[in-house]
């Protein structure tokens, strides 16, 4: 039994301002039906005793310890800069403002 009609596809396409030919409407209605049926099959398998998952394998984050350290000295940060002025990176002016 078809759950998505050609008219529904045409209505959604019109809302999205997508111009579809009649043969495209028929094809998309069939393809969307297959997708809806596939989702229904997965939903039938997903019983309350099956936990919801986002990944097939367990995942865990690995964090480093948040330990404060001394910051990078300004001279070291600016050492590779093409231009520096007053302890800051100097960049070309692009807006024509002062």
Biggest CA pair distance of the chain:
74
Mean pLDDT, rounded, of the chain: 88
Per the confidence metrics, is the pTM higher than 0.85? Answer: no
CATH number at residue 28: 1.10.20
Is the model's pLDDT at 71 over the cut of 90?
A: yes
Q: Is 60 among the domain residues?
A: no
Mean pLDDT over 57-81 rounds to 90
pLDDT digits (tens, 9 = 90+) for 10-50: 999 999 999 999 999 999 999 999 999 998 888 888 778 87
pLDDT of residue 23: 94
Residue 56 CA to residue 58 CA, distance in Å, equals 7
Residue 35 domain boundaries? 6-45
In sequence order, what DSSP letters do the residues of 34-91 get, joined into one string? HHHHHHHHHHHH--TTSPP-SSSS------------PPPPHHHHHTT-S-EETTEE--
Q: Is 31 among the domain residues?
A: yes
């Amino acid at each position: 039994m078809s759950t998505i009609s050609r008219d529904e596809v045409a209505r959604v396409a019109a809302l999205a301002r997508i111009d579809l030919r009649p043969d495209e409407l028929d094809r998309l209605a069939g393809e969307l039906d297959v997708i809806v049926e596939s989702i229904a099959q997965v939903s039938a398998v997903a019983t309350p005793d099956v936990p919801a998952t986002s990944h097939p394998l367990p995942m865990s984050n690995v964090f480093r310890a948040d330990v404060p350290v001394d910051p990078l000295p300004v001279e070291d940060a600016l050492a590779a800069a093409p231009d520096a002025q007053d302890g800051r990176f100097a960049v070309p002016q692009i807006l024509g403002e002062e």
